[in-house]
Amino acid sequence: MKFLVINGPNLNLLGTREPSIYGAADYAALETLVRDTCAAEGIDVEIFQSNHEGAIVDEIQRGGRDGFSGIIINPAAYTHTSIAILDALKSVALPAVEVHISDPMTREEFRHISYAGMACVEKFVGMGIEGYRKAILFLKDYCS
């Protein structure tokens, strides 16, 4: 089993960007949690982060070509704007799980729509980086 974890814009600033919303854990802590969880579960994982929509689309498409079992994606701000990411997720036909560190439904109204989520089998929101662990465990069961 092999998962692709994709993170969108500004997630590289975790720990310094609005810690009252996103918590004190930095991006390195998120990567460690993902790698440790996958290792404990016997899952190979690749982690990708970009602030650029097209790079995220390219990575989703690569996931569809390169034998991944599933995708865990936090599209960040592109959640609410990117039909391109939605279309890419639909085109690869891999199970995808959406993750958000905060809960977009408790924030500004423009954050309430999730285009990417329309192509996902599950979502985990508002759990901090722990949501990634839950997404990994869910996707493992889903893919088994």
Enzyme catalytic residues: 22, 100
- Between CA 61 and CA 47, with CA 122 as vertex, the angle to 5 degrees is 45
Tell me the helices (H) and strands (E) count for the chain, helix number first.
5, 5
- Contact yes or no for 14/102 (Cβ under 8 A): no
**Token output for 110:** 């423009």
Where residue 80 falls (left for φ over 0; alpha for ψ -120 to 50; beta otherwise) is: alpha
Q: Tell me, what DSSP letter sits at residue 133?
A: H
